[in-house]
Amino acid sequence: MDHKQEEGLLSPKEHFRRSYDSRDSSDLDSDIDATEYLQSDPLTAPKGSYNPAYQTQPRNRWLRQPCCCCAGRSRKCVWTCLGILALVFIALGGGGFFAYKKFAAPKDGLSPPWYPTPKGGTARNWADSYRKASEMVSKMTLPEKVNVTTGTGWEMGPAVGNTGPAVNVGFPSLALQDGPLGIRFTDNATAFPAGITVGATWNKDLMYQWGNAHAIEARKKGINVILGPCIGPLGRMPAGGRNWEGFGADPYLQGIAAAESIKGIQDEGIMATIKHLVANEQEHFRQSWEWGLPNAISSNIDDRTMHELYMWPFGDSVKAGVASVMCSYNQINNSYACGNSKILNGILKDEMGFQGFVMSDWLAQRGGVSSALAGLDMTMPGDGLFWADGKSLWGPELTKSVMNGSVPLERLNDMVTRIVAAWYQFGQDDTERFDPDGPNFSSWTNDEYGVFAPGSPSEQEKVIVNEYENVMGNHSAIARQIAAEGTVLLKNEHILPIDRHGNTDMKLRKKHEGVVRIGIFGEDAGPGPNGPNGCKDRACNEGTLASGWGSGAVEFPYLVTPIDALGSGWDKDKVNVSSWLTNSPPFSEQPEILGNQDICIVFANADSGEGFVSWESVKGDRPDLFLQKGGDDLIVSVANGCGGGSGETIVIIHTVGPVIMERWIDLPGVKAVLLANLPGQESGNALADVLFGAVNPSGHLPWTIGKNLDDYGDGAKIMYLPNNVVPQQNFAEGLYVDYRYFDKYDIKPRFEFGFGLSYTTFNFTIPRIKEQKPKSAYPAARPRDFAMPPEYDPSIPDEDEVLFPPNFRKLEKFVYPYLDTVDEIIMDPYPYPEGYDVKQPLSPAGGDEGGNPDLWETYVTVSTNVTNTGARDGNVVTQLYLAYPPNASKTEGVDFPVKVLRGFEKTFLKQNEMATVTFNVTRRDLSYWDVKAQNWKMVTDGTYGFVVGESSRLLHAMAEW
């Protein structure tokens, strides 16, 4: 960045480096005072009052520190705040006591305490990186270690998350950026299709390519860590606001898609973050204060469901070597996810053998020492309980708590080592590939010049912050392919594809004076009034829908709308196209608009997004499963009026999730339905590919489309109103979400999970089974760790080491690791959570990255021959479902789903071509979580059934093992 120096400006990184490097500080101004960096001590307040037996972190942290805003201020302020809080409690907590009695003490086994945090550095795949990391970490000062674990604060650096560097040992500030659809808050980068569209491709290679292309762009923009992929929410509730960021409502599909995209990201050297751990299934009440309540919702989940459903895809992610895991905003069994020792220490780090680092979602950290002890390794964005206040729960507080012994030094060492090891693991020490100057764009301005830390009110010089580097390469091709392959053909009565001359398979094609008249209807076919980036974070539904909203959304470099691609794609001599890009065309006054068409293509959509912003009645989560903006009415009038009742209507849906189609799906005029999910920037082109037949559709539903919301069960309903001062959401349906629920209660869906038509047909042979290893109930004994975690000097450093270096230039609100004076180190005993002193036995399900290696061994292979029996070449998605032995419920004493997805493969077949598809079924695939043994258990009595087919209900043949 020489040009910056030529202009006599200090580059942002240079400012940053100099601020931290005491050797350089003498030549910098020292006249900027820090305001208040300190807050009331979050580490020493008395324990909360609820049943401590299951307490994995002090609950209701804010109760222990009742008025953070009053920190260090007058008693009057404290009493006023307490008064306000009391009123809030009386108002919100009517019945709270009874709810407390009912919910506050989770049943045994829900979230028992799990301490201490297992250290990283035990797995074979990471041994080398840990060796390098330990050399570096052993040279770090304590503030440097703290710096690496703590974000610098909201808008305190170019990315949405920035850590502090350890300058003297050469460890850079890390730049963390959303994900998962592309690079958020930047220019000249691809707006890829959403995760749900990727899931709908059922194409492992595209899952990989999606991650890989994203990572190439991230690296070129100077990002170290992508905040994606997203597998939580899993999709328990079809109206959940963020389901579209993930891959579909099934743990197996989510797990494979996550693992493939993680490999794609990390093969490029970028660290992937799998998020959100765990059970952040709805937006309402997901986060403290965002919904007016002081505490986030608690997702109350039993141990077996946690393992088989919600944690399952995290297991795949860890096995794939993911660098980072983001813990979520919500509570799990009444303990915040980022302070839940059972989830982080127990399941993630011990059982699954996770070797990377756990970062908090933005402000999801709710306690200082407690979260460190529970297994959190990095706090984001660095601010504490409230946005952008600079009052970190770590930073100087972590320094103090290590100095006074509340957080063991070895825990801090482990946190830092995990982060540094991940950096080495993906080769980010290679300065040729990773510019230590960090991002070449700013998340906070589109101007070329700006300040480094706009979140700080301190005066700063303006420097070049945006270099507008175009990193898109040829990624439009991959974006287009995913969008096309992720488009699901739901209905086709001989009309699709339509060729460019207007010909279709329809036998009775009527032509008007030799010309086919095609009308395109609906706002969703065209551009929004303010362009694709008209609303901040895409939080509105205007024009064609290509993405949901929130942190998962990106700036579109362009958006090819359906009308762009379909308006001009036809042979003009043979097709006459007209369009009404509104949802309320003047049909009643001018019925001829519809009457004068042979074919009508009608567009409608449904949008949702992240809960920090709403659009109309969609407050993150959708209020219902219907199409929005009058979409259902529009489709009904088009289908009934097209060609005066004899026209043929093609319905195109863009959506974040399932929509109820009952009002129109069976109308005689509706000849075809394409569900194009959220296609990203190449929307129109991809749709044209499918409509015109250049691409034979091969997308399959990543969730079930029911006939109404009730059909999904009570557990599928969003809690729109809090039922308690800490909203309590009991996942009482257990394993039975989406198709598992429909199967169990024998409910006929409109379109089942996995459904998707093609322009050709396929035939499957009866599966062949080959035993690879004999059945046995439990996995082999947990193996010994491959390596020993690094050991460090255990002595607490001199107090002087943690003080601000002389003449240090501070930016207000910026989170630093230093203290002003040693008097801040208060030696009070910390009230450790109940159970903290009881060392937990190691899980028999653990032993390596991804858990006990035996879980990943293939026990049986299932093969089938698939033949393309139709008249076109095309991709086939072969799906494998497993049924547990019929007597399993009796022999094991627990209930089992009718079937579960355990394999899928996409294969391209020319006409009449045959291919053999083979699935490797692992021990984990065959097992259920035995809560008593705390281990995965295979059913050894009776025979497993394996069914293959094209959806969860279109199953052609079964074999047994």
Smallest gap from Cβ 535 to ligand BGC, in A, equals 17
Q: How far is the CB of 361 from ligand BGC (least distance, A)?
A: 5
C-beta of 184 vs 782, nearer to ligand BGC: 184
| Residue 361 lies near ligand BGC (rule: CB under 6 A) | yes
Mask: binding to ligand BGC, 503-542, rule CB under 6 A, as x and -? Answer: ----------------------------------------
Site for ligand BGC in 601-640 (CB under 6 A): none
Name which of residues 29 to 88 contact ligand BGC (CB under 6 A): none
> Residues near 718 by Cβ (< 8 Å), separated by ≥ 6?
237, 239, 240, 282, 284, 621, 622
Residue type, 174: L
Nearest distance in Å: CB 366, ligand BGC: 15
**Full DSSP string of 789-834:** PP----PPPPGGGGBPPTT--PPTT---S-BS-GGG---PPP-PPT
User: With b meaning 16 or more CB within 10 Å and e meaning fewer, what string describes 113-143?
Assistant: bbbbbbbbbbbeebeebbeebbebbeebebb
- Binder of ligand BGC out of 227, 277, 559, 651 (CB under 6 A): 227
Q: Supply the minimum distance, in Å, between the C-beta of residue 550 and ligand BGC.
A: 7
Residue 598 or 610: the one with the smaller Cβ distance to ligand BGC is 610
Give the C-alpha separation, 172 to 155, whole Å: 18
Distance of closest approach, residue 92 Cβ to ligand BGC, in angstroms: 23
Q: Which is nearest to 680 in space by CA: 198, 247, 177, 159?
A: 198
Q: Which residue, 59 or 275, is less far from ligand BGC as judged by CB?
A: 275
Q: Is the peptide bond before 815 cis (omega within 30 degrees of 0)?
A: no
Q: What is the DSSP string of 372-402?
A: HHHT--BBSSS--SSTT----SSTHHHHHHH
User: Which of 412, 420, 377 lies closest to 128, judged by CA?
Assistant: 420
Query: Least CB distance from residue 271 to ligand BGC, whole Å?
Result: 13
The least distance separating ligand BGC from the CB of residue 160, rounded to whole angstroms, comes to 4
Q: Which helix (H) or strand (E) holds 317?
A: helix 312-319
- Cα gap 325→277, rounded to integer Å: 7
Residues numbered 652 to 711 that lie near ligand BGC (CB under 6 A) are: none
Give 237 or 407: the residue with its C-beta nearer to ligand BGC: 237
Between 144 and 245, CB nearer to ligand BGC: 245
* Strand, coil or helix: 111: coil
Cα–chain center distance at 52: 31
Instruction: Tell whether residue 598 is a contact of ligand BGC (CB under 6 A).
Output: no
Please give the Cα distance from 429 to 133 (Å, whole number): 11
Q: How far is the CB of 175 from ligand BGC (least distance, A)?
A: 12
Closer to ligand BGC at the Cβ: 438 or 611?
A: 611
CB 919 within 8 Å of CB 933: no
Binding footprint of ligand BGC, residue count (CB under 6 A): 7
Residue closer to ligand BGC by CB (options 148, 227) is 227
Query: Is 544:579 a contact under the CB 8 Å cutoff?
Result: no
Catalytic residue among 302, 316, 361, 524: 361
Encoding tokens for residue 15?
A: 């400012």
Task: Please name which of 784, 770, 917 lies closest in space to residue 858, comparing C-alpha atoms.
Answer: 770
Peptide bond preceding 654: is omega within 30 degrees of 0, i.e. cis?
no
Q: Should residue 271 be labelled a site residue for ligand BGC when binding is judged by CB under 6 A?
A: no
Taking the complex as a whole, how short is the minimal distance between the CB of residue 277 and ligand BGC, in angstroms? 11
Query: Which residue, 275 or 491, is less far from ligand BGC as judged by CB?
Result: 275
Q: Cβ 156 to ligand BGC, closest distance in Å?
A: 14
Contact between 284 and ligand BGC by CB under 6 A: the answer reads no
Displacement of CA 143 from its chain's centroid (Å): 32
Stretch 806-845 residues interacting with ligand BGC (CB under 6 A):
none
Q: Which residues have CB under 8 Å from 102's CB, separation 6+?
A: 728
Count of residues in the chain: 961
User: 158 near 441, Cβ under 8 Å?
Assistant: yes
Rule CB under 6 A: say whether 362 interacts with ligand BGC. yes
Q: How far apart are CA 778 and CA 308, in angstroms?
A: 16
By beta-carbon proximity to ligand BGC, the closer residue of 217 and 361 is 361
Q: Does 160 bind ligand BGC (CB under 6 A)?
A: yes
Cβ closest to ligand BGC, residue 99 vs residue 815:
815
Going residue by residue from 169 to 188, which x/- string records binding to ligand BGC, judged by CB under 6 A?
Answer: ---------x----------
**Residue by residue, what is the 3-state secondary structure of 609-626?**
ECCCCCECCEECECCCCC
Q: Does 426 bind ligand BGC (CB under 6 A)?
A: no
Does the annotation mark 746 as catalytic?
A: no
Q: How far apart are the two ends of the chain, measured CA to CA in Å?
A: 63
Copy the structure tokens of residue 179.
């994900």
Q: Does residue 487 contact residue 843 with C-beta atoms inside 8 Å?
A: no
Instruction: Report CA-CA distances (Å) from 469 to 187, 442, 552, 649, 903.
Output: 8, 12, 21, 44, 40
Instruction: Output the smallest distance, CB 600 to ligand BGC, in A.
Output: 39
Structure tokens, 75: 């008693």
Q: 240 or 835: whose CB is closer to ligand BGC?
A: 240
Q: CA 198, CA 809: separation in Å to the nearest integer?
A: 47
Structure token digits, residue 713 = 């069960």
Residue 944: CB atoms within 10 Å: 24
Binding mask 539-568 for ligand BGC (x = CB under 6 A): ------------x-----------------
Looking at residue 100, its amino acid is Y
- Closest CB to ligand BGC among residues 178, 738: 178
Q: How far is the CB of 337 from ligand BGC (least distance, A)?
A: 11
And the tokens for 819?
Answer: 């203290």
Sort 387 into a burial class: Cβ within 10 Å, 0-12 / 13-18 / 19+: middle
Taking CB under 6 A as the criterion, the residue among 15, 17, 221, 275 binding ligand BGC is 275
CB 149 within 8 A of CB 394: yes
> Least distance from C-beta 440 to ligand BGC, angstroms?
19
How far is Cα 938 from Cα 338, in angstroms, rounded to an integer? 32
> Rounded to the nearest 5°, which phi and psi values hold at 822?
-70, -15
Please give the structure tokens belonging to residue 560. Answer: 């090819």
Residue nearer to ligand BGC on the CB measure, 178 or 812: 178
Residues marked active site are found at 361
Binding residues for ligand BGC (CB under 6 A)? 160, 178, 227, 275, 361-362, 551
